[in-house]
Amino acid sequence: MPNRSKVQSTTHLSPKMKPLGILGGGQLARMLALKAHELGIPVSVLSEHADDPAAQVTSLWIRGRLDDAETLRTFLSGCSVVTFESEFLDANLLSKLEAATRTSIAPRPADMAALQDRLSQKRLLTQHRLPTSEYFAVATAEEAGQAFESLGGSVGGAVVFKKRRFGYDGYGTFVVRTRKDLKAFLANFDEIPGSEHGFIAERFIPFRRELALMVARSKSGQTTRMPFVETFQKDSRCLWVKGPIKKSPALERLGRSLEKFLGNVGYVGVMGVELFDTGNGLLINELAPRVHNSGHYSMDALSEDQFALHLKCILDLPFEKPEPLSKGFAMMNLLGSSDRAPKWRLPADCKLHWYGKSLNRPGRKMGHYNVLAASPAKALALALKHRNAFKV
């Protein structure tokens, strides 16, 4: 069992330092802000609404839009370092403002730019010899048809088209299984919002299971990773996570390559990595330059959680490798199923993290809970059983 006291950092933080800034006010920003408070790091949040999940948890909330240059400039000037909860910001603008204000943004805007576009992300993976599926860039309906043929769609394999930009939780992912599907997709091609940025096309991977892990690198180059976990997506949206996954040489090799990759690109912060386990190998599905839903289990199940790790990386504080506190853990997302006010009876062994969203909505991420148990399977069974206690 890891010693929690060893995880404490030695660098001096002062509550009088300029606050750490977070761009965005959703649940990821909220959990980051709450962890910053725990570590004695003052934190400021820039978002549009006073009832945003993260706006509720800091007195240093600033109202403003994340696409307004003057708002961003003023916000950056008031912060020691700035991070973000979504990679879909204007990376070019952020890069200019970082230079103008001399407030560093981490992860760097250049890394945000590379990962916010699925095409440049795929190129980056390939360039660094990280395993990912074959892909084609698709800018027009004609190229979509060609990609479908090249990927074997016409011989019965399904093809997945993904918007290059702004896709999340399955919005922006289109599975084309037949020529008839393809016709419907092509007929609609120009009307799909965001289609002007183009798509990538890849084969549908009949995966055995989906896996994920968080990797991390500090400003001065320390790297680490969290355990591999299994994730389960329903309608392309994460429903649960369980872990840790039994170690294997292939997983360890990939984990090491990912840490090396962060060093090679000079990345700063945590990065979420989603994977397909094909039963025959591992393929990276996507990377996210931020804290990630698949890492929420770490809040209760590891010696150091992804939020603390991210903060330490960007403030250049030392950290230990996060280790599991139990033999099994699971995380259950609480997704809205209606617009009624949520109600629950909290089971004693559920560690609840509620996001404080003002409105419930079908499919909306309202909160999550973690459970610990003697094995991953037992933790998942418990988490599934406890889902009945929540009317969300």
Ligand X SMILES: Nc1ncnc2c1ncn2[C@@H]1O[C@H](COP(=O)(O)OP(=O)(O)O)[C@@H](O)[C@H]1O
Number of residues that bind Mg ion (CB under 5 A): 1
Give the burial class of 150: count Cβ atoms within 10 A of its Cβ; 0-12 exposed, 13-18 middle, 19 or more buried. Answer: middle
Cβ nearer to Mg ion, comparing 98 with 274? 274
Q: Is 88 in the site for ligand X (CB under 6 A)?
A: no
Nearer to ligand X, 169 or 259 (CB): 169
Closest approach of ligand X to the CB of residue 253, in Å: 22
CB of 44 to ligand X, least distance (A): 28
**Alpha helix segments (H runs only) across the chain:** 27-38, 69-77, 91-101, 109-116, 118-127, 141-150, 179-188, 249-265, 298-301, 306-315, 376-386
**Residue whose structure tokens are 């896996």:** 211
Beta strands in 289-350 (DSSP E): 328-335, 343-344
Tokens of 157: 């394999």
Dihedral angle sign, alpha carbons of residues 28, 33, 34, 38: positive
Name the minimum Å distance from CB 167 to ligand X: 5
Which listed option, Mg ion, ligand X, none, makes contact with residue 204 (CB within 5 to 8 Å by class)? ligand X
- The number of CA neighbours under 13 Å toward the Cβ of 257 is 17
Residue 354 is a binding residue for ligand X (CB under 6 A): no
* C-alpha separations of 110 from 63, 92, 115, 182, 369 in Å: 26, 8, 9, 35, 34
Residue bearing tokens 């570590």? 39
Which residue's structure tokens are 């389960």? 232
**Per-residue string for binding with Mg ion, 94-133, x by CB under 5 A?**
----------------------------------------
Tell me which residues in 185-214 interact with ligand X (CB under 6 A): 202, 204-205, 210
Minimum CB–partner distance for residue 114 and Mg ion (Å):
17
User: Under the criterion CB under 6 A, does residue 170 sit at the interface with ligand X?
Assistant: yes
Mode of pairing for the β-strands spanning 199-203 and 209-217? unpaired
Find the binding residues for Mg ion in span 253-292 (CB under 5 A): 274
Stretch that binds ligand X, among 35-43, 164-172, 251-259, 340-348 (CB under 6 A): 164-172
Closest approach of ligand X to the CB of residue 202, in Å: 5
Decide if 57 contacts 31 (C-beta within 8 A).
Answer: no
The sign of the dihedral angle between the CA atoms of 82, 263, 126, 177 is negative
Of 162 and 242, which has the nearer Cβ to Mg ion?
162
**At residue 53, what is the residue type?**
P
Here's the x/- map for ligand X, 263-282, by CB under 6 A: it reads as: -----------x--------
**Is residue 150 at the binding interface for ligand X, with CB under 6 A as the rule?**
no
Binding to ligand X by residue 160, rule CB under 6 A? yes
56 to 26, 27, 45, 353: CA distances (angstroms): 10, 11, 10, 14
State which residue, 91 or 288, has the beta carbon closest to ligand X.
Answer: 288
Contact call for residue 375 and ligand X (CB under 6 A):
no
- Binding status of residue 117 toward ligand X by CB under 6 A: no
**Chain residues in the site for Mg ion (CB under 5 A):** 274
**Chain residues in the site for ligand X (CB under 6 A):** 160, 162, 167-170, 173, 202, 204-205, 210, 233, 236, 274, 285-286
